[in-house]
Structure 1
Amino acid sequence: MYLLILVFPLLGSLFSGLFGRFLGFRGAVLITTTSVVSCFFLSCVAFYEVALQGSPCTLELSTWFVSEFFDATWGFYFDSLTVVMCVVITSISSLVHIYSIGYMSQDPHLPRFMCYLSLFTFFMLMLVTADNFVQMFFGWEGVGLASYLLINFWFTRLQASKASIKAMLVNRVGDFGLALGIMAIFSVFKTSDFSIVFACAPYLATKSLVFCNLEFHAFTCISLLLFIGAVGKSAQLGLHTWLPDAMEGPTPVSALIHAATMVTAGVFMIARCSPLFEYAPKALLVVSFLGAMTCFFAATTGVVQNDLKRVIAYSTASQLGYMVFVCGLSHYSVGVFHLMNHAFFKALLFLSAGSVIHALADEQDMRKMGGIVKLLPFTYAMMCIGSLSLVGFPFLTGFYSKDVILEVAYAKYTLSGNFAYLLGSVCVAFTSYYSFRLLFLTFLAPTATLKSSMKTLHDAPLIMALPLMLLALGSVFVGYLARDMMIGLGTPFWSNALFVLPRNTVLLESEFIPQMQKFLPLILTLFGAVLAYFLTLSHVFMSYKLKITSGGKKLYSFFNKRWFFDKIYNDFFSENALKFGYIVSFKTLDKGIFEILGPSGIAHSFLNFAQYLNRLQSGLIYHYAVVMLFGIISLITVISLWDFLEGILDTRFYFLYLISFLFYNYSLAKKA
């Protein structure tokens, strides 16, 4: 049964991809959707057996890489963390598959699209079920490949191609760090198996590691390298630039990437490697600081975006910041709980946005919407539920995890905890502002929609409405149902899946912080909502006047241009890299030194030399006598000085290159 969880999406992807032209529209849809839905039901059974009944399962399928000490197998490990991720991935993926039937019904390449969706699900399941780092890296790279294929699904669009290449290249930077981390783990532990590495972690906690000829604390070095991989996949500050551009893919792709698959991989990996991070307090400090800064950056950027999907994308980056910094505060269970809750309301927001875009003939600019609340009442209701859950409105799913994150940050009483609490609290107001601004501009503001779009306006059909209703139920009830089970005091739910040192546990203290700190998120949420209403609906000209002031214009430009990260990368990294690639690498090395001193240059030099010698064949005996005399003198000179020259350099090698270089330059000068 456990293997079928992985086999079903793979088979669905293969059938749809290889035989899509024979299966047709309905056949490809039926096979892929059925396989993923079956996978979801099997994941629920696995969740009951492993998490609720407390019986983890390990499966070893076959050998993969075996070389001396290095032994990587095809093995699968199902514990509480794995089955929670499996349920989240398969449930969201199933609903996205069903939604895509209606959303992509007019696309002639639907079988290929369903193939990519199922492949994405398979690689993500492979990542979370792996029992060793090498197999996890296989799933990690597969998720990157599937994201490239899906973002670039409409490959005839230039922006889609550029966004997919950007996502691939930025993630390569993070993947390089993860690969180095896995190599460092093997260097220290002599294995890549999770169970052995985590069991030996306490005994090797003081071990050192030589990295780049410098000696570091081994676990700190390993944790930071692994975190670089998480920064790339989970779009943390520095490697976040690919995430907003990934909106160029179809809307179901955005929902799948942001809710259940790619961006959650980094948070999962940090939680999975908690036994390593716990013995690297400096690495945890970096994780918490970078997560908090990402949260703040994305929230400030999202308040001035005008693209419907881009606003939701920046909210994803902000929520990922919450998950990462709470993991940096050693509360991995709270981070995974927020990951699970976030999957439901973020998928609901993206799919609801897809319904709006679908109804308005692919219009995504919120400034060209408005006044459609009466024409799209169902979509408006779904978007309201998703937005309220996102801002942490009391008793919805987001409330039960986001408030706990801020409470444990306040109760940490350390520099990293205070920093994360401060930025996290400020981000609550920003999140509320851009979420309600999205609702007001899209549905309630005076209409700015084109008349041609209004004529064909329609609410979501049943095939698209059904996933929205199910996600709305999850966005309302999942947090309440799972809170005490997953993050309650003394809960045995996680068993050995997550490891926290006793000194880092502050969940009990967070229950007794001052009431003001408990009510602060609600106050900031209401403040953000009122501010959004004031600047978006009731006093629109006030926001315009603020925007055109000198300070407002600079601040608006700074946030709207994403803190100029893209400009800095383009001007200082990309442009210099392209110049190096063309001027230095291509012109100077490839077409210059390597061609002159390489096989081609030597062959060309000998050819010219032979042509030169051919001219000496004059038939005159005194010409031949001069050549013979010069050759004998040269030979005697080299033999007599051989011992002296041999001590300095290998004359045979350099003499050959010198002669070839001179003759090649001579031939080039002669041609010029």
Structure 2
Amino acid sequence: MFDLVWLIPLCPLIGSVINGLLGKKIKNETVIGGIAAGSVFASFMVACGILFQLLSLPGEERVFQKTIFTWIQSGTFKADIGFLIDPLSATMLMIVTGIGFLIHLYSIGYMHGEEGFYRYFCYLNLFTFSMLCLVSGNNLLLMFIGWEGVGLCSYLLIGYYFHKKSAGDAGKKAFVMNRVGDFGFLLGLFTLFYYLGHNHNVWTINFVELAKNADLLVPGAVVTTVCLCFFLGATGKSAQIPLYTWLPDAMEGPTPVSALIHAATMVTAGVYMIARMNFIYIKSPTALLVVACVGAATALFAATIGTAQNDIKRVLAYSTVSQLGYMFLAMGVGAFTAGVFHLMTHAFFKACLFLGSGSVIHAMHHALHHEHSEADPQDMRNMGGLKAKMPITFITFLLATIAIAGIPGFAGFFSKDEILWQAFANPHHHAVNYVLWGAGAMAAGLTAFYMFRLVFMTFFGQTRLSDKAFHHLHESPWVITVPLVCLAILSVFGGWVGVPKVLGEVLGGMPNLFEHWLEPVFAYSTHYTEAHGAHGLHSVAMEWGLMGVSVLIACGGIGLAFALYIAAPGFPEKFTSTFPALHRAVYNKWYVDEIYDFAFVNPCKALGNFLWKGFDVLVVDGIVNGVAAVVRGFSGILRYVQTGFVHNYAYTMVFGVALIVAVYIFR
């Protein structure tokens, strides 16, 4: 199966080409959706085959490269169109194709009746193709092609409803902010390439070769610069401070797009990139500290904003930003396996949550349409009592919410608790670890609060719809509910492959299968840390204690949400009226967008207007138009010479001859 790895990105690309070129003529939604979903399912089946073959090999042999052809060659440097198969890439391929297939299937029902149905699936397949290139490419340049591809597709999909100005603006915002991060990625790539080539004559960007030559990367300013440049790229692609503001605005796209971006594709790219290049990051304590601090700050900051949002998708968007912060916190403390593990479990429950919100919006839109109401179908203040009408959506959404809150037994608990423990006990940042753990624990409590706030406002209590609209509410069709059920099951049981050691011992010696699976990928980082005498805290009692504290914090967040939105539903309004400034600040996302507009966007617009009206119009156009005016004036004088009368020309000739004769006589 290894030799067929090229089929994994090729199948969605073929689906994209067919729907892009022929979709308008096909017209049949079932055929268009079947081509798109079927192509991703085919990729998923190949990925499954590769996974099983990889599992059959010993750990040290789980690395395979498939070169399709040589792309660039100059001297000893060579960049291939080639694919890398190892436990990390296999995990990402399974996530992208598996979750991606469920989202494609869901989209067939959700996008029914859309005018640009074929265009949507063309973009969606192209998005999947780009992400598969990113996670399976065997070199940095091919990764960057996929990196740019998902950026382009995000622009197309976020701005899918291009007739809406807000959607177009959101697409442009995502595109521009990602270009800032991409500049950092390229700087890191060029610096790393030059450093290894100039100093050690190793001209390569191949991941396997870079890992083999990792000992040549001497800790210092250059390695730190490389890491920070790559991390700048990650902050753009994975929506971390300061380049996170594009992601909440991405909600302007169709809901399945949000699920694909947030759960399985684009925003996980930065986490994957750092995990793939762990052998470089482990050599820069400074870069690791920056990654950890940015991740912890983002997790907490975004969580605070999520507590006051009323748009159901926007709450989930800030939740994604916060959860990505957890992943980067794990990367920054050297817990690469924990970060990838949370990436996987987050894909399960966040895809379920977004698709569940789409099911709610789909039903609300239908109900409000029958009433001819202009109420916002995404505003939770217009909902309430939906569990009676949408039982499958409610149950699956609740299970995914419990998972993201970190309740024991659910997928999110295992991965989030591991990150918090590693943040506290890692050997890299000493006293800063306590701050990192504190930020992560507070973010966990806020996550539990705002997610259950969402559940209570949407599904519980008295409906805020009219009787007529509420009567027309109904459960979504099977093409929407089946993916929800599959993802809910994964949200419950998907974390059991990574049971922590202390918990596994209580459960009869259950091993941490996920850690064992990824061990060969992160072996260099593990050995490097141990070789340099770095030892973290290994107190079983402390780990149990912190686990208990994190569970209590999550339960406290759930209890607070219940108290405010079920037991005493009038209290939130009293709180906001008592502290209006605080509520406005959180509701308006701490005015970060306004600050960016003031500090960057408006000055850039002013500079652009100056260059247009001041330099281009006055200077450039002035010079061009001035030359034209001089030529036109001179020509206007000369045109009187050409009168068209022969006697005038004769007079002129006589005058000229007389003048010449006079010059020769009187000189």
Structure 2 residue aligned with 1:172: 179
**Which of 263, 269, 282 is the matching residue for 2:273?**
269
Q: What letter is aligned with 1:445?
A: G
Structure 2 residue aligned with 1:287: 291
In structure 1, C-alpha distance between the alignment counterparts of 2:87 and 2:628, rounded to whole Å: 66
Structure 2 residue aligned with 1:107: 114
Asked whether 1:328 is paired with 2:329, we answer no
Instruction: Show CA shifts across 1:68-122 (max 9, x none).
Output: 5653221111111100000001010000011111111122322221111111111
After TM superposition, the structure 1 = structure 2 runs for residues 304-315 of structure 1, keeping only pairs within 5 Å, are 304-315=308-319
What secondary structure is seen at the aligned counterpart in 1 of 2:413?
Answer: helix
Cα deviation, residue 571, structure 1: 1.6
Structure 2 residue aligned with 1:127: 134
Asked whether 1:427 is paired with 2:443, we answer yes
Asked whether 1:201 is paired with 2:210, we answer no
Structure 1 residue aligned with 2:503: none
* Residues 411/157 of structure 1: CA separation in 2 closer, same or farther (3 Å cut): same
In structure 1, C-alpha distance between the alignment counterparts of 2:140 and 2:515, rounded to whole Å: 30
Deviates more, 1:319-328 or 1:154-163: 154-163
Cα deviation, residue 605, structure 1: 3.6
Structure 2 residue aligned with 1:494: 519
Q: Is the 8 A contact 1:312 1:349 kept in 2?
A: yes
Deviates more, 1:504-513 or 1:96-105: 504-513
Deviates more, 1:483-492 or 1:454-463: 483-492
Structure 2 residue aligned with 1:17: 20
Asked whether 1:595 is paired with 2:621, we answer yes
* Residues 565/4 of structure 1: CA separation in 2 closer, same or farther (3 Å cut): same
Q: Is the 8 A contact 1:92 1:260 kept in 2?
A: yes
In structure 1, C-alpha distance between the alignment counterparts of 2:518 and 2:275, rounded to whole Å: 15
Q: Is the 8 A contact 2:29 2:108 kept in 1?
A: no
Instruction: Show CA shifts across 1:16-51 (max 9, x none).
Output: 111112333222111111111111121111112225
Asked whether 1:2 is paired with 2:16, we answer no
After TM superposition, the structure 1 = structure 2 runs for residues 209-288 of structure 1, keeping only pairs within 5 Å, are 217-288=221-292
Instruction: Show CA shifts across 1:464-523 (max 9, x none).
Output: 111111111111111013446995698364313564132487677264525332211111
Q: Is the 8 A contact 2:158 2:254 kept in 1?
A: yes
Cα deviation, residue 199, structure 1: 2.3
What secondary structure is seen at the aligned counterpart in 2 of 1:496?
Answer: coil
What secondary structure is seen at the aligned counterpart in 2 of 1:540?
Answer: coil
* Residues 445/489 of structure 1: CA separation in 2 closer, same or farther (3 Å cut): closer
What secondary structure is seen at the aligned counterpart in 2 of 1:77?
Answer: strand
**Which of 18, 21, 32 is the matching residue for 2:36?**
32
TM-score (norm 2): 0.87
What secondary structure is seen at the aligned counterpart in 2 of 1:360?
Answer: helix
Q: Is the 8 A contact 1:230 1:267 kept in 2?
A: yes
Cα deviation, residue 237, structure 1: 1.1
**Which of 549, 552, 561 is the matching residue for 1:523?**
552
Asked whether 1:64 is paired with 2:71, we answer yes
In structure 2, C-alpha distance between the alignment counterparts of 1:574 and 1:196, rounded to whole Å: 42
* Residues 331/506 of structure 1: CA separation in 2 closer, same or farther (3 Å cut): farther
**Which of 445, 453, 459 is the matching residue for 2:469?**
453
Instruction: Show CA shifts across 1:280-321 (max 9, x none).
Output: 111111100000000011100000000011111111111000
Q: What letter is aligned with 2:516?
A: T
Structure 2 residue aligned with 1:391: 405
In structure 2, C-alpha distance between the alignment counterparts of 1:367 and 1:201, rounded to whole Å: 54
**Which of 490, 493, 496 is the matching residue for 1:480?**
496
Asked whether 1:580 is paired with 2:607, we answer yes
In structure 2, C-alpha distance between the alignment counterparts of 1:84 and 1:11, rounded to whole Å: 23
What secondary structure is seen at the aligned counterpart in 2 of 1:58?
Answer: strand
Instruction: Show CA shifts across 1:356-412 (max 9, x none).
Output: 111111711001100122111111101110100000111110011001111111113
In structure 2, C-alpha distance between the alignment counterparts of 1:47 and 1:588, rounded to whole Å: 61
Q: Is the 8 A contact 1:337 1:486 kept in 2?
A: no
Instruction: Show CA shifts across 1:221-274 (max 9, x none).
Output: 111010000000100011111111111111111110000001000100111111
Q: Is the 8 A contact 1:174 1:232 kept in 2?
A: yes
Cα deviation, residue 606, structure 1: 4.3
In structure 2, C-alpha distance between the alignment counterparts of 1:499 and 1:45, rounded to whole Å: 27
In structure 2, C-alpha distance between the alignment counterparts of 1:488 and 1:91, rounded to whole Å: 20
In structure 2, C-alpha distance between the alignment counterparts of 1:600 and 1:269, rounded to whole Å: 52
* Residues 385/610 of structure 1: CA separation in 2 closer, same or farther (3 Å cut): same
* Residues 249/548 of structure 1: CA separation in 2 closer, same or farther (3 Å cut): same
Cα deviation, residue 126, structure 1: 0.2
What secondary structure is seen at the aligned counterpart in 2 of 1:125?
Answer: helix
Instruction: Show CA shifts across 1:179-208 (max 9, x none).
Output: 11111122112332222223223223146x
In structure 2, C-alpha distance between the alignment counterparts of 1:510 and 1:246, rounded to whole Å: 43
Q: Is the 8 A contact 1:389 1:476 kept in 2?
A: yes
Q: Is the 8 A contact 1:81 1:497 kept in 2?
A: no
In structure 2, C-alpha distance between the alignment counterparts of 1:604 and 1:590, rounded to whole Å: 18
Q: Is the 8 A contact 1:278 1:284 kept in 2?
A: yes
In structure 1, C-alpha distance between the alignment counterparts of 2:138 and 2:514, rounded to whole Å: 28
Q: What letter is aligned with 2:417?
A: D
* Residues 506/421 of structure 1: CA separation in 2 closer, same or farther (3 Å cut): farther
What secondary structure is seen at the aligned counterpart in 1 of 2:570?
Answer: helix
**Which of 470, 474, 478 is the matching residue for 1:462?**
478
Q: What letter is aligned with 1:353?
A: S
Q: What letter is aligned with 2:260?
A: L
Cα deviation, residue 52, structure 1: 5.2
Deviates more, 1:413-422 or 1:95-104: 413-422
* Residues 255/318 of structure 1: CA separation in 2 closer, same or farther (3 Å cut): same
Q: Is the 8 A contact 2:178 2:236 kept in 1?
A: yes
Structure 2 residue aligned with 1:556: 583
Cα deviation, residue 543, structure 1: 2.1
Instruction: Show CA shifts across 1:603-624 (max 9, x none).
Output: 5444445556789999999x99
In structure 2, C-alpha distance between the alignment counterparts of 1:508 and 1:483, rounded to whole Å: 19
In structure 1, C-alpha distance between the alignment counterparts of 2:324 and 2:45, rounded to whole Å: 27
Cα deviation, residue 455, structure 1: 2.7
Q: Is the 8 A contact 2:87 2:517 kept in 1?
A: no
Q: What letter is aligned with 1:441?
A: M
Instruction: Show CA shifts across 1:557-599 (max 9, x none).
Output: 111111111000112211111111012x1122222223344x6
What secondary structure is seen at the aligned counterpart in 1 of 2:204?
Answer: coil
Q: CA RMSD in A?
A: 2.5
In structure 2, C-alpha distance between the alignment counterparts of 1:171 and 1:116, rounded to whole Å: 18
Structure 2 residue aligned with 1:87: 94
**Which of 566, 582, 601 is the matching residue for 2:593?**
566
Identity of aligned residues (%): 39
* Residues 74/350 of structure 1: CA separation in 2 closer, same or farther (3 Å cut): same
Deviates more, 1:553-562 or 1:481-490: 481-490
Q: Is the 8 A contact 1:486 1:494 kept in 2?
A: no
In structure 2, C-alpha distance between the alignment counterparts of 1:13 and 1:486, rounded to whole Å: 41
Q: Is the 8 A contact 1:232 1:240 kept in 2?
A: yes
Deviates more, 1:483-492 or 1:67-76: 483-492
Structure 1 residue aligned with 2:154: 147
Q: What letter is aligned with 1:589?
A: F
Structure 1 residue aligned with 2:379: 365
Q: What letter is aligned with 1:491?
A: H
* Residues 489/75 of structure 1: CA separation in 2 closer, same or farther (3 Å cut): closer
What secondary structure is seen at the aligned counterpart in 1 of 2:362?
Answer: helix
In structure 1, C-alpha distance between the alignment counterparts of 2:620 and 2:308, rounded to whole Å: 51
